[in-house]
Copies of this chain bind each other. A is one copy, B any other.
Amino acid sequence: MKAGEVMTILDNALRIGKGVTRYGKVAAYIPELAKKDKNKLGICLYTIDGDRFEVGNTEDRFTIQSIAKVMALCLALETFGAGFVFDHVGVEPSGEAFNSLVELDNRSNRPFNPMINSGAITVASMLEGRYSIEEMQKYMQDVCEDPEIAIDEAVFESEMATCARNKAIAYLLKSKQIIDNDVEESVTFYTQMCAMSVTARNLATFGLLLANDGIQLSTGKRLISSQTVRMVQTIMLTCGMYDGSGEFALKTGIPTKSGVGGGLLSVAQKKMGIGIYGPSLDEKGNCIAGCELLGYISEAFHLHIFDQTEWKVE
Protein backbone atom coordinates (compact mmCIF):
# COMPACT_ATOMS: atom_id res chain seq x y z
CA MET A 1 0.00 0.00 0.00
CA LYS A 2 1.21 3.48 -0.81
CA ALA A 3 1.59 6.12 1.91
CA GLY A 4 -1.05 8.24 0.19
CA GLU A 5 -3.53 5.44 0.44
CA VAL A 6 -2.76 5.10 4.13
CA MET A 7 -3.61 8.76 4.63
CA THR A 8 -6.86 8.38 2.69
CA ILE A 9 -7.85 5.49 4.92
CA LEU A 10 -6.90 7.50 8.02
CA ASP A 11 -9.06 10.40 6.82
CA ASN A 12 -11.95 7.98 6.33
CA ALA A 13 -11.33 6.55 9.78
CA LEU A 14 -11.44 10.03 11.30
CA ARG A 15 -14.75 10.70 9.53
CA ILE A 16 -16.16 7.36 10.70
CA GLY A 17 -15.07 8.14 14.23
CA LYS A 18 -16.51 11.66 14.18
CA GLY A 19 -19.80 10.15 12.99
CA VAL A 20 -20.35 8.33 16.26
CA THR A 21 -18.77 10.82 18.67
CA ARG A 22 -22.11 12.42 19.47
CA TYR A 23 -23.55 9.11 20.70
CA GLY A 24 -20.99 8.91 23.51
CA LYS A 25 -20.38 10.85 26.70
CA VAL A 26 -17.31 12.15 28.49
CA ALA A 27 -16.58 10.40 31.79
CA ALA A 28 -18.94 11.93 34.32
CA TYR A 29 -17.83 10.30 37.54
CA ILE A 30 -14.56 12.23 37.68
CA PRO A 31 -15.36 15.96 37.68
CA GLU A 32 -12.13 16.97 35.94
CA LEU A 33 -12.72 14.53 33.07
CA ALA A 34 -16.26 15.77 32.64
CA LYS A 35 -14.88 19.09 31.43
CA LYS A 36 -13.31 17.62 28.28
CA ASP A 37 -14.46 18.57 24.77
CA LYS A 38 -16.17 15.47 23.46
CA ASN A 39 -15.62 16.39 19.81
CA LYS A 40 -11.85 15.91 19.98
CA LEU A 41 -10.47 12.99 18.02
CA GLY A 42 -6.94 12.07 17.00
CA ILE A 43 -5.39 8.99 15.44
CA CYS A 44 -1.69 8.22 15.21
CA LEU A 45 -0.17 5.20 13.45
CA TYR A 46 3.51 4.48 13.89
CA THR A 47 4.72 1.71 11.61
CA ILE A 48 7.52 -0.77 12.01
CA ASP A 49 9.27 0.94 9.12
CA GLY A 50 9.42 4.13 11.09
CA ASP A 51 6.66 6.02 9.36
CA ARG A 52 4.23 8.03 11.41
CA PHE A 53 0.76 8.83 10.03
CA GLU A 54 -1.48 11.22 11.96
CA VAL A 55 -4.86 12.90 11.70
CA GLY A 56 -6.76 15.07 14.16
CA ASN A 57 -5.83 15.92 17.75
CA THR A 58 -2.81 13.71 18.21
CA GLU A 59 -0.90 16.18 20.36
CA ASP A 60 -3.64 16.96 22.86
CA ARG A 61 -2.81 15.85 26.36
CA PHE A 62 -5.20 13.65 28.36
CA THR A 63 -4.81 11.37 31.34
CA ILE A 64 -3.75 7.86 30.51
CA GLN A 65 -6.05 6.21 33.06
CA SER A 66 -6.40 2.44 32.62
CA ILE A 67 -3.86 2.27 29.82
CA ALA A 68 -1.28 2.74 32.57
CA LYS A 69 -2.21 -0.81 33.59
CA VAL A 70 -0.27 -2.04 30.56
CA MET A 71 2.90 -0.13 31.44
CA ALA A 72 2.56 -1.20 35.05
CA LEU A 73 2.21 -4.83 34.02
CA CYS A 74 5.29 -4.58 31.80
CA LEU A 75 7.35 -3.08 34.59
CA ALA A 76 6.07 -5.59 37.15
CA LEU A 77 6.83 -8.56 34.89
CA GLU A 78 10.34 -7.26 34.21
CA THR A 79 10.95 -6.45 37.88
CA PHE A 80 9.40 -9.39 39.72
CA GLY A 81 9.08 -12.09 37.02
CA ALA A 82 5.97 -13.74 35.66
CA GLY A 83 5.89 -16.37 38.40
CA PHE A 84 5.56 -13.84 41.19
CA VAL A 85 3.17 -11.54 39.36
CA PHE A 86 0.77 -14.30 38.30
CA ASP A 87 0.81 -15.77 41.77
CA HIS A 88 -1.00 -12.62 42.81
CA VAL A 89 -3.07 -11.83 39.73
CA GLY A 90 -4.69 -14.26 37.31
CA VAL A 91 -4.93 -13.97 33.53
CA GLU A 92 -8.53 -15.02 32.97
CA PRO A 93 -11.21 -12.77 31.55
CA SER A 94 -13.72 -12.18 34.31
CA GLY A 95 -16.94 -11.70 32.41
CA GLU A 96 -17.66 -8.84 34.84
CA ALA A 97 -17.39 -5.06 34.72
CA PHE A 98 -13.99 -3.45 35.25
CA ASN A 99 -14.69 -2.30 38.76
CA SER A 100 -16.55 -5.32 40.07
CA LEU A 101 -15.75 -6.77 43.47
CA VAL A 102 -17.97 -9.77 42.99
CA GLU A 103 -15.67 -12.06 41.10
CA LEU A 104 -12.91 -11.30 43.57
CA ASP A 105 -14.97 -11.98 46.65
CA ASN A 106 -16.92 -14.87 45.32
CA ARG A 107 -15.14 -16.80 42.69
CA SER A 108 -11.46 -16.58 43.27
CA ASN A 109 -8.74 -15.71 45.69
CA ARG A 110 -6.89 -13.64 43.14
CA PRO A 111 -8.05 -10.81 40.93
CA PHE A 112 -9.05 -12.36 37.61
CA ASN A 113 -6.54 -10.37 35.55
CA PRO A 114 -4.34 -7.26 35.62
CA MET A 115 -6.56 -5.25 33.27
CA ILE A 116 -9.45 -4.88 35.73
CA ASN A 117 -9.10 -2.53 38.68
CA SER A 118 -8.59 -5.19 41.35
CA GLY A 119 -5.74 -6.74 39.39
CA ALA A 120 -4.19 -3.43 38.46
CA ILE A 121 -4.29 -2.20 42.05
CA THR A 122 -2.51 -5.40 43.04
CA VAL A 123 0.19 -4.74 40.44
CA ALA A 124 0.43 -1.08 41.49
CA SER A 125 0.84 -2.15 45.09
CA MET A 126 3.77 -4.39 44.13
CA LEU A 127 5.40 -1.54 42.23
CA GLU A 128 4.73 0.91 45.03
CA GLY A 129 6.83 -1.27 47.33
CA ARG A 130 9.77 -1.00 44.95
CA TYR A 131 9.54 2.25 43.02
CA SER A 132 8.74 5.87 43.72
CA ILE A 133 6.05 7.46 41.57
CA GLU A 134 8.84 9.50 39.96
CA GLU A 135 10.49 6.28 38.83
CA MET A 136 7.18 5.05 37.45
CA GLN A 137 6.80 8.36 35.63
CA LYS A 138 10.31 8.00 34.21
CA TYR A 139 9.45 4.51 32.95
CA MET A 140 6.37 5.81 31.20
CA GLN A 141 8.40 8.66 29.68
CA ASP A 142 10.95 6.15 28.38
CA VAL A 143 8.56 3.66 26.78
CA CYS A 144 6.55 6.53 25.24
CA GLU A 145 9.66 8.52 24.33
CA ASP A 146 8.27 11.73 25.80
CA PRO A 147 10.01 13.44 28.75
CA GLU A 148 7.00 15.68 29.29
CA ILE A 149 4.69 13.01 30.59
CA ALA A 150 3.67 14.17 34.07
CA ILE A 151 0.88 13.88 36.59
CA ASP A 152 -2.16 16.02 35.80
CA GLU A 153 -2.61 17.31 39.34
CA ALA A 154 -6.18 18.53 38.85
CA VAL A 155 -7.32 15.14 37.60
CA PHE A 156 -5.34 13.37 40.31
CA GLU A 157 -6.99 15.44 43.06
CA SER A 158 -10.37 14.94 41.48
CA GLU A 159 -9.95 11.19 41.37
CA MET A 160 -8.59 10.90 44.91
CA ALA A 161 -11.76 12.63 46.08
CA THR A 162 -13.96 10.06 44.35
CA CYS A 163 -12.04 6.83 44.72
CA ALA A 164 -14.18 5.12 47.35
CA ARG A 165 -14.72 2.12 45.12
CA ASN A 166 -11.02 1.63 44.45
CA LYS A 167 -10.39 1.90 48.18
CA ALA A 168 -13.05 -0.73 48.74
CA ILE A 169 -11.26 -2.99 46.27
CA ALA A 170 -7.87 -2.28 47.83
CA TYR A 171 -9.10 -3.01 51.37
CA LEU A 172 -10.67 -6.22 50.13
CA LEU A 173 -7.33 -7.19 48.57
CA LYS A 174 -5.65 -6.33 51.87
CA SER A 175 -8.13 -8.42 53.83
CA LYS A 176 -7.36 -11.35 51.54
CA GLN A 177 -3.63 -10.72 51.96
CA ILE A 178 -3.21 -10.26 48.22
CA ILE A 179 -1.59 -6.91 48.86
CA ASP A 180 0.82 -6.35 51.73
CA ASN A 181 1.60 -2.65 51.47
CA ASP A 182 -0.27 0.20 53.01
CA VAL A 183 -3.67 0.48 51.32
CA GLU A 184 -3.78 4.25 51.19
CA GLU A 185 -0.32 4.47 49.64
CA SER A 186 -1.13 1.78 47.10
CA VAL A 187 -4.29 3.56 46.01
CA THR A 188 -2.41 6.85 45.81
CA PHE A 189 0.31 5.32 43.64
CA TYR A 190 -2.33 3.72 41.43
CA THR A 191 -4.26 6.95 41.06
CA GLN A 192 -1.10 8.90 40.30
CA MET A 193 -0.03 6.54 37.57
CA CYS A 194 -3.53 6.75 36.06
CA ALA A 195 -3.32 10.55 36.10
CA MET A 196 -0.23 10.72 33.90
CA SER A 197 -0.84 13.02 30.98
CA VAL A 198 -0.11 11.63 27.50
CA THR A 199 -0.90 12.16 23.80
CA ALA A 200 -2.17 9.83 21.09
CA ARG A 201 1.32 10.01 19.64
CA ASN A 202 2.79 8.74 22.94
CA LEU A 203 0.48 5.76 22.83
CA ALA A 204 1.39 4.96 19.22
CA THR A 205 5.06 5.07 20.22
CA PHE A 206 4.51 2.68 23.10
CA GLY A 207 2.32 0.49 20.84
CA LEU A 208 5.10 0.28 18.29
CA LEU A 209 7.56 -0.74 20.99
CA LEU A 210 5.33 -3.74 21.73
CA ALA A 211 4.66 -4.40 18.03
CA ASN A 212 8.41 -4.47 17.51
CA ASP A 213 8.92 -7.18 20.16
CA GLY A 214 10.14 -4.73 22.81
CA ILE A 215 12.90 -3.14 20.75
CA GLN A 216 12.92 0.65 20.43
CA LEU A 217 12.86 1.39 16.72
CA SER A 218 14.81 4.64 16.88
CA THR A 219 17.73 3.21 18.85
CA GLY A 220 17.54 -0.54 18.26
CA LYS A 221 17.71 -1.00 22.03
CA ARG A 222 15.63 -3.68 23.71
CA LEU A 223 13.50 -1.98 26.42
CA ILE A 224 11.21 -4.92 27.19
CA SER A 225 11.88 -8.65 26.89
CA SER A 226 10.22 -10.75 24.18
CA GLN A 227 8.56 -12.89 26.79
CA THR A 228 6.98 -9.89 28.52
CA VAL A 229 5.80 -8.45 25.21
CA ARG A 230 4.18 -11.75 24.28
CA MET A 231 2.39 -12.05 27.61
CA VAL A 232 1.24 -8.45 27.67
CA GLN A 233 -0.21 -8.66 24.15
CA THR A 234 -2.03 -11.89 25.00
CA ILE A 235 -3.57 -10.35 28.10
CA MET A 236 -4.54 -7.18 26.21
CA LEU A 237 -6.28 -9.33 23.62
CA THR A 238 -8.21 -11.53 26.05
CA CYS A 239 -8.89 -9.00 28.83
CA GLY A 240 -8.08 -5.49 27.58
CA MET A 241 -11.60 -4.33 26.85
CA TYR A 242 -13.16 -5.69 30.07
CA ASP A 243 -16.40 -7.62 29.54
CA GLY A 244 -16.41 -6.59 25.88
CA SER A 245 -12.98 -8.11 25.19
CA GLY A 246 -14.31 -11.13 23.31
CA GLU A 247 -16.43 -9.11 20.94
CA PHE A 248 -13.66 -6.60 20.36
CA ALA A 249 -11.16 -9.38 19.64
CA LEU A 250 -13.61 -10.94 17.18
CA LYS A 251 -14.17 -7.67 15.36
CA THR A 252 -10.72 -6.12 15.25
CA GLY A 253 -8.31 -8.84 16.33
CA ILE A 254 -5.90 -6.20 17.69
CA PRO A 255 -4.65 -6.27 21.30
CA THR A 256 -6.01 -3.01 22.68
CA LYS A 257 -6.38 -1.22 25.98
CA SER A 258 -8.69 1.69 26.68
CA GLY A 259 -8.75 4.36 29.37
CA VAL A 260 -11.64 6.55 30.52
CA GLY A 261 -9.52 9.57 29.71
CA GLY A 262 -10.39 8.77 26.10
CA GLY A 263 -7.19 7.00 25.07
CA LEU A 264 -6.82 3.76 23.15
CA LEU A 265 -3.57 1.85 22.77
CA SER A 266 -3.42 -0.80 20.03
CA VAL A 267 -0.64 -3.15 19.01
CA ALA A 268 -0.56 -4.68 15.52
CA GLN A 269 2.29 -7.11 15.80
CA LYS A 270 5.18 -6.65 13.40
CA LYS A 271 3.18 -3.90 11.76
CA MET A 272 2.43 -0.83 13.82
CA GLY A 273 1.47 0.81 17.06
CA ILE A 274 -1.75 2.83 17.14
CA GLY A 275 -2.68 5.63 19.54
CA ILE A 276 -6.13 7.19 19.56
CA TYR A 277 -7.61 10.01 21.61
CA GLY A 278 -11.32 10.73 21.83
CA PRO A 279 -12.91 11.59 25.19
CA SER A 280 -16.45 10.69 24.12
CA LEU A 281 -17.01 7.24 25.67
CA ASP A 282 -19.43 4.39 25.02
CA GLU A 283 -21.44 2.74 27.77
CA LYS A 284 -18.59 0.47 28.79
CA GLY A 285 -16.23 3.44 29.18
CA ASN A 286 -14.27 2.98 25.94
CA CYS A 287 -13.55 5.72 23.38
CA ILE A 288 -16.62 5.36 21.19
CA ALA A 289 -15.03 6.75 18.04
CA GLY A 290 -11.89 4.68 18.47
CA CYS A 291 -13.73 1.37 18.83
CA GLU A 292 -15.71 2.12 15.72
CA LEU A 293 -12.83 3.23 13.55
CA LEU A 294 -10.47 0.48 14.70
CA GLY A 295 -12.79 -2.06 13.06
CA TYR A 296 -12.42 -0.17 9.81
CA ILE A 297 -8.65 0.24 10.15
CA SER A 298 -8.20 -3.42 11.04
CA GLU A 299 -10.11 -4.43 7.92
CA ALA A 300 -8.35 -1.92 5.65
CA PHE A 301 -4.82 -2.71 6.81
CA HIS A 302 -5.43 -6.43 7.50
CA LEU A 303 -4.40 -6.05 11.13
CA HIS A 304 -6.57 -8.83 12.61
CA ILE A 305 -4.19 -11.38 14.17
CA PHE A 306 -5.99 -14.13 12.28
CA ASP A 307 -6.06 -12.28 8.98
CA GLN A 308 -3.63 -14.09 6.69
CA THR A 309 -3.40 -11.44 4.00
CA GLU A 310 0.07 -9.97 3.54
CA TRP A 311 0.16 -6.19 3.88
CA LYS A 312 2.86 -3.54 3.93
CA VAL A 313 3.32 0.20 3.42
CA GLU A 314 5.71 0.71 0.55
- The chain A residues found within 8 Å of chain B, CB to CB, are 90-96, 100-103, 105-107, 112-113, 164-165, 167-172, 174-175, 183, 213, 226, 229-231, 233-235, 237-239, 243-247, 249-250, 253, 255, 269-270, 304-308
Contacts and interface: CB of A to CB of B under 8 A. Distances in A.
A260 B246 CA distance: 24
Contacts of A102: 101-102, 105-106
B93 A103 contact: no
Given A94-B95, A164-B174, A168-B171, 6 more contacts: A92-B244, A95-B103, A102-B106, A171-B171, A235-B250, A269-B306
Contact of A175 (B165, B213, B230, B255): B165
Contacts of A234: 249-250, 253, 305-306
Contacts of A172: 101, 164-165, 168
A99 B207 CA distance: 38
A107 B101 CA distance: 12
Given A164-B183, A238-B238, A230 B306 contact: yes
A147 to B, nearest CB: 29
A230 B270 contact: no
B93 A92 contact: yes
Contacts of A167: 167-168, 171, 183
